[in-house]
Amino acid sequence: TLLLVVVFSMNCLFFYPEKAFFKLLFLTPSVEGAVRGLKITWNIAFAVIMASVVTATTTPTEMTKGIEKLISPLRIIGVPAKDVATILGISLQFVPIFMEEADKIVKAQKARGADFYHKNWIKRGMAYMPVLFPLFAAAFFWASFTSSIVRPSLSRSLIVAS
């Protein structure tokens, strides 16, 4: 929701300065900017909702096949559609794992006294720094783990193909 508020505010306050109600320093609120902000905010919210519906109702295998069909025209310019679709499919399967990891880390940081609800947005953002480093460490762990599993099967498929 914070992203949507920021997108709306930026559009409302900075676009169409020639039609502004008033000018306060560099802020120029206008009706046209508000309309543009509402349209963009709606598009972002709709995309997020649709992405949630698709990921909730589609299996990873179907999603990988759909991505492969979607990018298959790029084979003309040499893009390996199946490989790209497989990589994206594997990546999508890690999203719930990372969300769970982030939740565990946030709970641990709260237990240590971290304040994630500070009114100052800079301090709130800084409170998330101790969450990012363990999350990146977990991402590298899972990437290494997955590559150690995929690498032998990939080398076997390359040997069979040649």
pLDDT tens, position by position, 119-152: 777 777 777 888 888 888 888 888 788 777 766 6
At residue 153, the pLDDT reads: 57
Global pTM value: 0.54
Highest mean pLDDT: which range of 17-21, 51-55, 57-61, 73-77: 73-77
Q: Are 8 and 38 in contact (CB under 8 A)?
A: yes
In 3D space, the residue among 35, 28, 31 whose CA is nearest the CA of residue 13 turns out to be 28
**Are residues 12 and 37 in contact, defined by beta-carbon separation less than 8 angstroms?**
yes
pLDDT per residue as tens digits for the range 10-50:
887 777 666 767 677 777 777 788 888 889 899 999 998 99
What is the percentage of the chain residues whose pLDDT exceeds 90?
7
- pLDDT of residue 116 exceeding 90, the answer is no
> Which residues pair with residue 24 across a beta bridge?
27
Banded model confidence at residue 162, pLDDT cuts 50, 70, 90: very low
CB 67 within 8 A of CB 83: no
As a whole number of angstroms, the distance between CA 33 and CA 10 comes to 9
Given a contact cutoff of 8 angstroms between Cβ atoms, the answer to whether 135 and 103 are in contact is: no
**Torsion from C-alpha of 53, 58, 61, 66, nearest 10 degrees:** -70
Q: What is the CA radius of gyration of the chain?
A: 22
- Residue 92, pLDDT score: 79
Structure tokens at 9: 């505010």
Mean pLDDT for the stretch of residues 50-55: 86
Distance CA 143, CA 103 (A): 19
Question: Is the pLDDT score of 106 beyond 80?
Answer: yes
d(CA 47, CA 64): 19
